[in-house]
Amino acid sequence: MALAYRPSHADATYDFKYGVRAVEGGGRSSARETIGRVAAGAVAKKLLKIQSATEVLAYVSRVHGVELPDDVVDHEKLTIEQIESNIVRCPDPVIAEEMIKAIDMVRLRGDSVGGVITCIARNVPRGLGSPVFDKLEAELAKGLMSLPATKGFEIGSGFSGSKMTGSEHNDEFYIDDSGNVRTRTNRSGGIQGGISNGETIVMRVAFKPTSTITTLQKTVTREGHETEFRARGRHDPCVVPRAVPMVEAMVALVLADQLLQHHAQCQLLRFDTNLPPANGEKGSENVTLEEAATRR
Amino acid sequence: MALAYRPSHADATYDFKYGVRAVEGGGRSSARETIGRVAAGAVAKKLLKIQSATEVLAYVSRVHGVELPDDVVDHEKLTIEQIESNIVRCPDPVIAEEMIKAIDMVRLRGDSVGGVITCIARNVPRGLGSPVFDKLEAELAKGLMSLPATKGFEIGSGFSGSKMTGSEHNDEFYIDDSGNVRTRTNRSGGIQGGISNGETIVMRVAFKPTSTITTLQKTVTREGHETEFRARGRHDPCVVPRAVPMVEAMVALVLADQLLQHHAQCQLLRFDTNLPPANGEKGSENVTLEEAATRR
Amino acid sequence: MALAYRPSHADATYDFKYGVRAVEGGGRSSARETIGRVAAGAVAKKLLKIQSATEVLAYVSRVHGVELPDDVVDHEKLTIEQIESNIVRCPDPVIAEEMIKAIDMVRLRGDSVGGVITCIARNVPRGLGSPVFDKLEAELAKGLMSLPATKGFEIGSGFSGSKMTGSEHNDEFYIDDSGNVRTRTNRSGGIQGGISNGETIVMRVAFKPTSTITTLQKTVTREGHETEFRARGRHDPCVVPRAVPMVEAMVALVLADQLLQHHAQCQLLRFDTNLPPANGEKGSENVTLEEAATRR
Amino acid sequence: MALAYRPSHADATYDFKYGVRAVEGGGRSSARETIGRVAAGAVAKKLLKIQSATEVLAYVSRVHGVELPDDVVDHEKLTIEQIESNIVRCPDPVIAEEMIKAIDMVRLRGDSVGGVITCIARNVPRGLGSPVFDKLEAELAKGLMSLPATKGFEIGSGFSGSKMTGSEHNDEFYIDDSGNVRTRTNRSGGIQGGISNGETIVMRVAFKPTSTITTLQKTVTREGHETEFRARGRHDPCVVPRAVPMVEAMVALVLADQLLQHHAQCQLLRFDTNLPPANGEKGSENVTLEEAATRR
């Protein structure tokens, strides 16, 4: 490891950029770096829970060829106990068993596998996010794609939504029993045009297989000589179950930031922002800035 | 449109957040907003071309059920002429024809379809990006997920990479004829651990079908009454071909920013950053900061 | 002006940096640029007034050799009417008359003079700002030193405070009739250690004399030849009275930003943050994060 | 200290904002916090020295009533050895002796004094900074006013410049022996309109007397009771000499940041930015973006 670059590992690009190598334990590119994110995420989760009863939960929905179908999990009733009931953090015990077998199979031959994590955020207040560059889905995508080994991000219908027609994909609005504007379906994944709509936010994140494997691979040395390389030591055959808390943490951090910003920007001062009525008469609730100032 | 929220359109969430509606032409949530991005992207492309011969090209790789297989396009030889040779901006003329038919089919019945855009960046200098929060793939994901109607982002192998083993997925290194460290495959998509490795950057972006369709849909009014809604006027049955320049612009803007940052951070001052040799003798090229200062 | 650099004007440095000249009307370095700041400042003032009854007022306290002594103006009773009662925006009519004369004297011979603006902010909520890099006085200093022609900034005692002893300078605390912690003196200028203490914030900003004068001056051309230069056209002999709204605007913008940040950071969630009592018994009002979460 | 707020100390405002007290050693508001700034400043100084031979030097120019006149120090020849030749860091040995006496006098009676630090930056490349909000003097003011105990900032002529006429204040340009555009005087302090002009940058920073003194003072407790307070322990009677490295560090950090930004923004790509010649003929050195791209 000290001499040759590990294929598909960050040690080569880090050396290209900074001219520095830190090879033991993966150095700065080890997923151990995320410990600070998980710690901060715990605070963010608390804040979200207290302020808006928002909950963030993630689980493994695919390991290699073993997939948990979308409709098996009820996102409104999912609990952390279901997720933590097995070591692959998959809420379905049967699928979980298959995932464990899939990992064991590659582990024995020193190989590794990738997978997918699904993450939901329930009770997200509507209005979080912003409409242009800093769309909520853009912030979430950045947060999640900053985790090691991620290769893809989906919100709501994701790539499968690109195969649908508008009449199939659109989420129709209705008024629920409490008088709230809701949608019957949730292909939007809880966000429309960069701003949360109050439905559950649903995301999926793809993780590649761990790059460090004990299979013999061709590579090059720092000095530019071709060579072969076989990793030693203990390496995860599948990082996906261990990435579940990282995913939750990043989502909680993004949502907590957005909650604070939204509060300062839109809720500290409440003015009536209705457009003037068409007939020109003044609505009874309209309060102009001038009047609000005078009333003090 | 002035009274009811359009299903899956941003006008509802914008109203939830700001209490303001701007209904004509989609208001601020129209994709017309991206004109400024495309203009700025043209400058960024110029800068990239002059500084590092970097080229950014995007094309439509799926419309509804019509998909352009990955191996049909040679990313090293792809030209803008191929892409611009038809109105759906797909470099394969046969597939393009099928895409046009697919769009026509939904257009006639007032419906819409989604699709996927593939974007590549060639001759990207190695070393762009950073290793933790602001990984290059994270910046690209944010940039692209900030475009209207996007639902997913992939880099390199993307979600399909999550179905592979490490021995299948890893990109083995070799030394090319010019003595450069290269990889034989490119499942990493040109980025490893947040930093570009000099291979072509390959991304895919999923777009949902346009939300504004002429089909009758259930929705609610601003005042909270359930109603039905049918859009009028001219609406795109498929925005994907028109989103190609937006995708190129956002990628070019991200890469240009990263190029400037990389230059200031890592190339303005060039120190030898090799770790001291194991045997303690000083390499002939080693220049300490102290010495460099003295030599001035 | 199109050929030669104006002494002490920004046109030379702008050309050094960007290689571009815009000579008419001072180009981008004209104080006309601040119109956007003043417009935004009007919104910020409104927000401050409504949210916390905070008022920002500035006035001219020196023109050339004519100075308004500190103790003449009662900062608790100062009104905008007093300030706007004369064209130099000095609340003392006698001193104002002298200032007008001082300006007239240099105006007649085509010269210019500098001066000082004092700015106060009343009813600033305590707690705005932060303790290390983004101290409130640092943000105010940056905002005010970003105005054209500024050469100095003071908060509270300013440079004269550097001539005092600690026993003379310290602001002793007392409890006022409403039970609030107040200070009897205000040499701190309303800020202690980066955070507002609820007293009136008092600042002073020094403006140099306008650089564009009709006196003949030595200068050089863009091509590097020495020459002489005499400005024509209408130029302000003293910009200080016209800078009063700019100063108010920048202070209001900084305070409004800080107010929003403070609200999001410290007031959205109110936990009891008292240190545990020395004797170990739990105070009746103590609410832990855990308990607060449970109570929901 | 654990019960009562120290007059003019940050412990009260910190408690107002965060509800937390950390009283030992001044807690987070101790100037010990600046150790990280001084360490980072050492790296910034190295970078500045290597890249542009820029040097940053600060010295004490006033303690209480003892002032070092401006014209005593030759800023072009000043050395760090002169500054470090005595414990008050004043380059004039006679004045230094008076400063030491002034400090001793207050030290004996448990009081404290303030002072002024002058800081210069030599060989600053011209072009650093920007023309509107992030003017170089604004960035320097923020950096320096973020240091503990600062009450004022001046650049060039500072507050005394506000007493001058334009014809007295303007810095006339000339061409030096190397053909460079220079100014004969430097009332601008090395910056015009937010951008460095290549002359020595000259700043002055006012420090208030240390707030912690052993004199008996009136104050209040956290619980809102009036009381009297006398500090114990070892406290600096004058922090100004010890603040010299802090001032140098903050100036070096600001300049290093600006140098990196300037390089990326204006020097990575060098286009000819001359306005087109009046007579329409093309200058021999003009290179358009188009042509530059073609030449590659």
pLDDT in tens, D104-148: 999 999 999 999 999 999 999 999 999 999 999 999 999 999 999
**Residues C108-123: what's their mean pLDDT?**
96
Min CA distance, D15 vs chain C (Å)? 9
- A and D adjacent (3 or more CB pairs under 8 angstroms): no
A36 pLDDT band, cuts 50/70/90, is: very high
Residue C183 with chain D: CB contacts under 8 Å: 7
Question: What contacts D14, CB < 8 A, 6 or more positions away?
Answer: C131, C193, C195, D20, D21, D22, D27, D28, D29
Residue D273 with chain C: CB contacts under 8 Å: 18-20
Question: Under an 8 A CB cutoff, do C18 and D187 touch?
Answer: no
Question: Under an 8 A CB cutoff, do B263 and D268 touch?
Answer: yes
Reported as a single tens digit per residue, the pLDDT across D218-252 is 999 988 999 998 887 667 899 999 999 999 999 99
Question: Under an 8 A CB cutoff, do C269 and A296 touch?
Answer: no
Of residues A19 and B130, more confidence is placed in B130
Torsion, Cα B16 B18 B20 B25, to 10 degrees, reads: -80
pLDDT at residue C167 tops 60: yes
pLDDT at residue A29 tops 90: no
**pLDDT at residue C145, as a whole number:** 98
**Residues C37-53: what's their mean pLDDT?**
96
- Chain A partners (3+ C-beta pairs within 8 A): B, C
B131 pLDDT band, cuts 50/70/90, is: very high
Q: How many beta-carbon pairs below 8 A join chains B and D? A: 42
Reported as a single tens digit per residue, the pLDDT across A246-257 is 999 999 999 999
**pLDDT at residue A73, as a whole number:** 96
**pLDDT at residue C26, as a whole number:** 57
A288 pLDDT band, cuts 50/70/90, is: very low
Secondary structure of B14-69 as H, E, C letters: HHHHHCCCCCHHHHHHCHHHHHHHHHHHHHHHHHHHHHHCCEEEEEEEEECCEECC
**pLDDT at residue C21, as a whole number:** 78
Average model confidence (pLDDT) across chain B:
89
ipTM of the shown complex: 0.92
**pLDDT at residue B150, as a whole number:** 98
pLDDT at residue A62 tops 70: yes
pLDDT at residue D276 tops 80: no
pLDDT at residue A191 tops 80: yes
Residue with tokens 């009104």: C79
pLDDT at residue C96 tops 60: yes
Min CA distance, D169 vs chain B (Å)? 36
CB-nearest to B269 from D51, D265, D268 is D51
Question: Under an 8 A CB cutoff, do A13 and B274 touch?
Answer: no
pLDDT at residue D283 tops 70: no
**pLDDT at residue B82, as a whole number:** 98
- 8 Å CB contact between B132 and B206: no
B290: which 2 tokens?
């102290």
Of residues C239 and C22, more confidence is placed in C239
Question: Under an 8 A CB cutoff, do A159 and B169 touch?
Answer: no
Beta bridge partners of B38: none
CB-nearest to A152 from B14, B152, B172 is B152
Min CA distance, B254 vs chain A (Å)? 12
CB-nearest to B293 from D46, D263, D296 is D46
**pLDDT at residue B279, as a whole number:** 41
- Classify the phi-psi angles of C149: left when phi > 0, otherwise alpha if psi is within -120 to 50, otherwise beta: left
Q: How many beta-carbon pairs below 8 A join chains A and C? A: 42
Tell me which H or E stretch contains B219: strand B217-220
A24 pLDDT band, cuts 50/70/90, is: low
**Residues B144-159: what's their mean pLDDT?**
98
**pLDDT at residue A236, as a whole number:** 86
Question: Under an 8 A CB cutoff, do A50 and C269 touch?
Answer: yes
Q: Which of B48, B260, B266, B288 to mutate to test the interface with D (most CBs of D within 10 A)?
A: B260
List for chain A the helix, strand, coil content (%; round to 5): 40, 20, 45
C271 pLDDT band, cuts 50/70/90, is: low
Reported as a single tens digit per residue, the pLDDT across D54-87 is 999 999 999 999 999 988 999 999 999 999 999 9
Reported as a single tens digit per residue, the pLDDT across D165-178 is 999 999 999 999 99
Question: Under an 8 A CB cutoff, do B260 and D264 touch?
Answer: yes
Residue in chain D closest to C115 (alpha carbons) equals D162
Question: Under an 8 A CB cutoff, do A167 and B217 touch?
Answer: yes
C290 pLDDT band, cuts 50/70/90, is: very low
What does residue A22 show for φ and ψ, rounded to 5 degrees? -140, 95
Tell me which H or E stretch contains D289: helix D289-295
**pLDDT at residue B280, as a whole number:** 38
Reported as a single tens digit per residue, the pLDDT across B50-106 is 999 999 999 999 999 999 998 899 999 999 999 999 999 999 999 999 999 999 999
Residue D207's closest CA among D141, D152, D137? Answer: D152
Residue D1's closest CA among D208, D149, D213, D148? Answer: D213
> Is residue D275 exposed (0-12), middle (13-18) or buried (19+ Cβ within 10 Å)?
exposed
Beta bridge partners of C93: none
pLDDT at residue B286 tops 90: no
**pLDDT at residue A27, as a whole number:** 62
**Residues B212-233: what's their mean pLDDT?**
89
Residue A183's closest CA among A173, A168, A193? Answer: A173
Min CA distance, C83 vs chain D (Å)? 20
Percent of chain A with pLDDT over 90: 74
C70: which 2 tokens?
């500190």
Q: Which of B118, B132, B133, B173 to mutate to test the interface with A (most CBs of A within 10 A)?
A: B173
D276: which 2 tokens?
């087109």
**Residues A27-38: what's their mean pLDDT?**
86
pLDDT at residue B177 tops 50: yes
Min CA distance, C49 vs chain D (Å)? 21
pLDDT at residue A271 tops 90: no
Of residues A271 and B41, more confidence is placed in B41
List for chain C the helix, strand, coil content (%; round to 5): 40, 20, 45
**Residues D36-41: what's their mean pLDDT?**
98
Max alpha carbon distance in chain A (Å)? 82
**pLDDT at residue A25, as a whole number:** 55
**pLDDT at residue C24, as a whole number:** 63
**pLDDT at residue B268, as a whole number:** 81
**pLDDT at residue A270, as a whole number:** 63
E strands present in chain D? 55-63, 66-67, 115-122, 150-155, 173-175, 181-183, 191-192, 195-196, 201-207, 217-220, 226-229
Residue B238's closest CA among B91, B98, B102, B114? Answer: B114
- 8 Å CB contact between D171 and C124: no
Question: Under an 8 A CB cutoff, do D293 and B264 touch?
Answer: no
Question: Under an 8 A CB cutoff, do D7 and C194 touch?
Answer: no
Tell me which H or E stretch contains C196: strand C195-196
Min CA distance, A122 vs chain B (Å)? 17
- Taking the CB of residue B164, how many other CB atoms lie within 10 A of it? 19
Q: Which of B17, B99, B128, B187 to mutate to test the interface with A (most CBs of A within 10 A)?
A: B17
Residue in chain B closest to D52 (alpha carbons) equals B296
Reported as a single tens digit per residue, the pLDDT across C190-213 is 999 999 999 999 999 999 999 989
B277: which 2 tokens?
């040799």
Which pairs with CB-CB distance under 8 Å and at least 24 residues apart come from B68-71?
B68/B92, B68/B95, B68/B118
Q: Which of C50, C55, C289 to mutate to test the interface with A (most CBs of A within 10 A)?
A: C50
Question: Under an 8 A CB cutoff, do D293 and B263 touch?
Answer: no
- 8 Å CB contact between D159 and C152: yes
Q: How many beta-carbon pairs below 8 A join chains A and B? A: 362
**pLDDT at residue B167, as a whole number:** 95
pLDDT at residue B212 tops 90: no
Question: Under an 8 A CB cutoff, do D174 and C224 touch?
Answer: no
**Whole-angstrom distance, CA of residue C252 vs CA of residue A178:** 41
Residue in chain A closest to C54 (alpha carbons) equals A293
Question: Under an 8 A CB cutoff, do D260 and B260 touch?
Answer: no
Residue with tokens 């016209």: C242
**Residues D172-187: what's their mean pLDDT?**
95
**Whole-angstrom distance, CA of residue B108 vs CA of residue A30:** 53
Average model confidence (pLDDT) across chain D:
89
Residue in chain A closest to C289 (alpha carbons) equals A46
- Taking the CB of residue B292, how many other CB atoms lie within 10 A of it? 16
